[in-house]
Structure 1
Amino acid sequence: MPTAIEASRFLQQMSFGPNEAEIAAVQSKGFRQYLLDQFSAPASMYASGGSDEINTTMEKDFCNAKFPQGGTARDNCWRDWYSSEPLKWDFFRQAVENPDQLRQRMAHALAQIVVVSDRETEGTYGMREYYQMLRNNAFGNYRTILREVTLSPLMGDYLDMVNNEAAAPNENFARELLQLFSIGVCELNLDGTLKGGKCTATYDNTTVRNYSYALTGWTYPAGGKNPWCNNGVCGGWQNNAYYRGRMVSVAAQHDKTERVLLSGTTVPASRTPDQALNSVLDSVMNHPNTAPFISKQLIQFFVTSNPSPGYVSRVATVFNSGTFDGITGGTGKGDLRAVIAAILLDPEARDMNRMTDASFGKLREPILYMTGALRAFGGVTDGVPLGRWWFGDAMGQPVFSSPSVFNYYPPDYPLPGNAGLLAPQFGIAGASTVMGRSNFANSLFMWWYNKGGTYAPDATVFNGRGTRVNYSLFEADAVDAGKLVDRLNLLLLNGRLSAQERAQVVTAVETWTTNENSWLTRTDIASNYQRERIKQAAYILLSSPQYQVQR
């Protein structure tokens, strides 16, 4: 069975951060059984925010018509009904507290491949539909993901596929389907390396045009109304904007010319929009690039930015076969349950010697930096300060608010000062965002909680409860600075402190003693020296290179 350090490292890779209860569970069950249990855990549900009423009402000014003047509901109408803020609250609450950790992590990884951003879309209920779809299909099949993404009315808006006419189709979605969502721009070997040692283009603009024609003739699902049109129905073949369900086909607006796609696939002249879509999906799923292109990115999100060609090849082989050591969802090629099991149970992922390999691991992305801290310390959050307008922005990764369809950072971003190594998350690492990490650690332990009072919940937020950690879990052990540091070293750093580093942290923690009564007994600051020791240790370890870089 795994040691505590092995269990902690496994959880760093597959969850939003270890806590002591989950470390014990992994030790008891072993890696494989723990994964199987995660596959069967019920999916967390996005629930906050307004309904589809914003697109089904005949009111021309929804917020003013819906809510009385002078109330908080009207003041927060855009936030609660049109923005992704309510989803951010749910995301962080559930990432910190809910048991379906692997499903949530997988959906978070998929959301950074098939990107939709609130910077160019609006409609809270529509975003809720899209991101819940990724959770629901996180252990399904990648072809299903591509189909759902293609028919998503939110994606249709974001990349201009909705209401694409046969006469002059927009190429945006077709291009990103190839470039980002499936095959990439360069021909690859199964192991993710460039075929022939150089970049040979996988497609040209003629190919993009053929795909865009094949994907014409889709409009919004029925149900939307537009108060600016007669009787709420606009002219033409398009349905009004509506983001619940899948887009529907309109055969009269679908291209009928024969189109040559990739992978030896041809869309015949006589076809329906649904038949053309199936041909599009066949062509990308059968392309030899899809397995290594998607597999390598998933490895990068979970384990390491620089997987060996052998690691990529093993996972890509599982992608193509749909099974891994008896683990499968039974969906065939593209089975994501088999793929994620192959990623997390691969010898390269589980090799403890990799913790000292300078080319292994990855910079912890900001979202995982925040959730890891809260989970380790038994924290709770309503998500408010972790989203776009607070620390999400400060660290460069506000969830659901990617600056473009290319995500927050590219998968091939080079490690600064070390040509040949990739470091995707360094694409958003700069002086200000790195300082944002330290500021978060400082704020969580030194400002929000028990230094001038708790970080107060926002009364206008659903299930608002503030953001705080649970010091009581560690106070008894804080009497012994060494014991406290050892516990946190396991939780946060997988035991990676050297003996010298550990001694330095212990010395810093021991500066808080029972003699500090004048400050600790102030009536406006409820604390004790054990609690201050926890804060000191937490800030040092969360700011350390060992926490910043996951190995």
Structure 2
Amino acid sequence: MITLRLLRASRTSRSIYPTFLLVAAVLSSVAATAVAQPIGMQDARFLLARTGFTPQTSEVDQYAQLTRQQAVDQLLVQTTRAASTPAPAWTGEALVPYRTIKDKSDEEKKAFRENEQKKAFELRGWWLREMLVTPSPLTERMTLFWHNHFVSAQQKVKYSQLMYRQNILLRQHALGNFGAMLHAVSKDPAMVIYLDGANNRKGTPNENFAREVMELFTLGEGNYSEQDIKEAARAFTGWSIDGDTGEFKWRPRIHDEGSKTVLGRSGNFDGDAVLDILLAQPACAEFVVSKLWREFVSPNPNPAEVARIARHFRDSRYDIKTALHDLFLSPFFWDLGNRGTLVKSPVELMVGTLRQFQFSYDDPLPFTFAVAQLGQNLFNPPNVKGWPGGEAWINSSTLLARKSTLERLFRATEHGARMTTQPNMANAPSTKMAQPNEAQSIAFKSALGKIKGQGALGREGRIQFANAAAMISYDPNSWFAQFGVGVDALPTPAQRIAMQQALLPLEPTAPIKSDLTGTALLRTMVLDPVFQLK
């Protein structure tokens, strides 16, 4: 079994670009000087890969001329609060109340379920497309981060409209104020349904939300007691939803008006008051910063640095950009020892590969199934704790599945498929593409077979899946041209090093043969386990 430990061990293997590593080591010893100088191509690529998805060379060029301070400032200032991809038409439709479904026939109920499932597929495709075309990858990375922090899942929520609304809410607050987001998400209808808030009423409090808001959203284990949970649950009574509209609804008749004691403070608290008490705890800022550290820096947070950043975070009244600014300018973030220590999630692997190589596609449906098969089904985290991430993404089965997925993506080029024009991933993809050849038509055959077995898409959906998979392609000539080499030419050592640095954060696990050219060379680099790291 190939483990992350084995991947990291590759750093001790024979380097094909020792000069770069030597220079980087020298620079790290004079960090004060480096901070005031342009970060260069390699550091720019590292910054953009860690804070977004694998960048294209054109994106790296823009940041390479900036200092660390300038690069981080630019990264944060260009973030957005809304998606650029038009939402599916049904997101504006009224919900069909549950109570009306109960009285329908079995056939009507089945039709309703199938329609919701179709919407679910479209919703995943919509978000994945947004990740592919967004002008601010950090915004989508943070939206995904909060999706895995404030967890809810469509499997229980049912309504795609509510999951869509929550996604919009998370993006709106993704780089805003954590306190405001906590209050908003706590009243979000999808969250109320997922954590049984509608069943929380005076006399029979439901503790699910009170427990998770402390353990998973704000404080972490060990910073509250079971009695705190019981008291807080009473404060959240009355938070419900309107069964007809799906909107949040306050029901004062089922709210417990009695005095509660939470974390040493007593009073006639409602839910908002309890949330403010949680935000006032020093443990809250440290808990959130520690999670951000594991997302962007390394698996093992440095306690002193976390405490420092958390103090600034609290002093800013939980301004998320303040925390990220400190995190991205921390010497630990730039430390060479922390590079290649994080594993790309399935979404990062898929979206990053598609963006970096400027793949052309018509419908993102195959990509949504690919990331789900790799363990990250968007809008459906496995449980209330979300996807564990980190080394949990990599094991003998998932590493093989990742390799197989990448092989299918690049298979068309092995049969001579070429695009006549270079796609522009900064805009919505064009539907004017080359007709699918045999190689493209079979590229996702094995994945489609799994979908057929599930019966999830239905016949129409399976045809859509097959057609969409057949239209996936990219232009290898354009990619190789960035490095001044033809797709079938033997690259010089310098060109090979440049390509390797663009694809791998560390040295490959095995030396790459010097006589490889074109897709054989590219395939060797992409299928190396180090490609899974960032």
Tell me the TM-score normalised to structure 1 length.
Answer: 0.73
Amino acid at match of 1:374: L
Amino acid at match of 1:101: P
Contact 2:153 2:380 in 1 (8 A): yes
Shift of 1:111: 0.9
Partner of 2:74: 34
Partner of 2:500: 489
**1:80 aligned onto 2:118:** yes
**What is the 5 A alignment of 1:417-436?**
424-436=389-401
Shift of 1:407: 0.8
Contact 1:49 1:87 in 2 (8 A): no
Contact 1:367 1:392 in 2 (8 A): yes
**What is the 5 A alignment of 1:158-169?**
158-169=194-205
Q: Could you report, residue by residue, the CA deviation over 1:480-522 in whole angstroms, capped at 9, with x for unpaired residues? A: 443564443232224x337x966x2443x23xxxxxxxxxxxx
Partner of 2:53: 16
Q: Could you report, residue by residue, the CA deviation over 1:276-325 in whole angstroms, capped at 9, with x for unpaired residues? A: 12211111101121111111111111221123223322321221122xxx
**What is the 5 A alignment of 1:93-492?**
93-186=129-222, 202-220=223-241, 239-240=242-243, 242-243=245-246, 245=247, 247-262=248-263, 264-268=264-268, 276-322=270-316, 333-352=317-336, 354-355=338-339, 361-381=341-361, 382-387=363-368, 390-409=369-388, 424-446=389-411, 450=417, 452-454=438-440, 466-476=471-481, 477=485, 478-482=487-491, 485-492=496-503
CA distance in 2, matches of 1:441, 1:101: 21
CA change 1:103–1:111 in 2 (3 A) is same
CA change 1:61–1:310 in 2 (3 A) is same
Partner of 2:521: 537
CA change 1:538–1:112 in 2 (3 A) is farther
Shift of 1:254: 0.3
CA distance in 2, matches of 1:65, 1:119: 19
Shift of 1:47: 0.9
Tell me the TM-score normalised to structure 2 length.
Answer: 0.75
Shift of 1:206: 1.6
Amino acid at match of 1:537: L
CA distance in 1, matches of 2:254, 2:305: 45
* RMSD (Å) for aligned C-alpha atoms: 3.1
Contact 2:286 2:307 in 1 (8 A): yes
Contact 1:38 1:101 in 2 (8 A): no
Amino acid at match of 2:265: T
Contact 2:97 2:244 in 1 (8 A): no
Q: Could you report, residue by residue, the CA deviation over 1:94-127 in whole angstroms, capped at 9, with x for unpaired residues? A: 2122212111111111111111112322111111
CA change 1:474–1:448 in 2 (3 A) is closer
Contact 1:113 1:407 in 2 (8 A): yes
State the SS of the aligned residue for 2:440. coil
Contact 1:41 1:100 in 2 (8 A): no
State the SS of the aligned residue for 1:401. coil
Higher helix share: 2
Partner of 2:22: none
CA change 1:319–1:46 in 2 (3 A) is farther
CA change 1:124–1:75 in 2 (3 A) is closer
Shift of 1:376: 1.2
Correspondent of 1:48 among 65, 79, 88: 88
Shift of 1:46: 6.5
Runs of 5+ consecutive residues of structure 1 not aligned to the other structure: 187-201, 221-238, 323-332, 410-423, 511-532
Partner of 2:451: none
CA change 1:49–1:169 in 2 (3 A) is farther
Contact 2:83 2:130 in 1 (8 A): no
CA change 1:403–1:320 in 2 (3 A) is same
CA distance in 2, matches of 1:302, 1:441: 24
Contact 1:485 1:505 in 2 (8 A): no
CA change 1:114–1:454 in 2 (3 A) is same
State the SS of the aligned residue for 1:363. coil
CA distance in 2, matches of 1:313, 1:62: 58
CA distance in 2, matches of 1:20, 1:545: 22
Q: Provide the identity percentage.
A: 22
Contact 2:185 2:191 in 1 (8 A): yes
CA change 1:16–1:267 in 2 (3 A) is farther
Q: Could you report, residue by residue, the CA deviation over 1:151-182 in whole angstroms, capped at 9, with x for unpaired residues? A: 01111111101242111011111100011011
Amino acid at match of 2:61: A
Runs of 5+ consecutive residues of structure 2 not aligned to the other structure: 1-37, 418-436, 445-460
Partner of 2:26: none
Partner of 2:433: none
Deviating more after overlay: 52-61 vs 377-386: 52-61
Partner of 1:7: 44
State the SS of the aligned residue for 1:128. helix
CA distance in 2, matches of 1:219, 1:96: 36
Shift of 1:79: 2.5
Contact 1:38 1:102 in 2 (8 A): no
Shift of 1:434: 1.3
CA change 1:43–1:391 in 2 (3 A) is closer
CA distance in 1, matches of 2:104, 2:328: 50
CA distance in 2, matches of 1:448, 1:75: 39
State the SS of the aligned residue for 1:362. coil
State the SS of the aligned residue for 1:406. coil
How many equivalent pairs are there? Answer: 443
Shift of 1:49: 6.0
CA change 1:481–1:38 in 2 (3 A) is farther
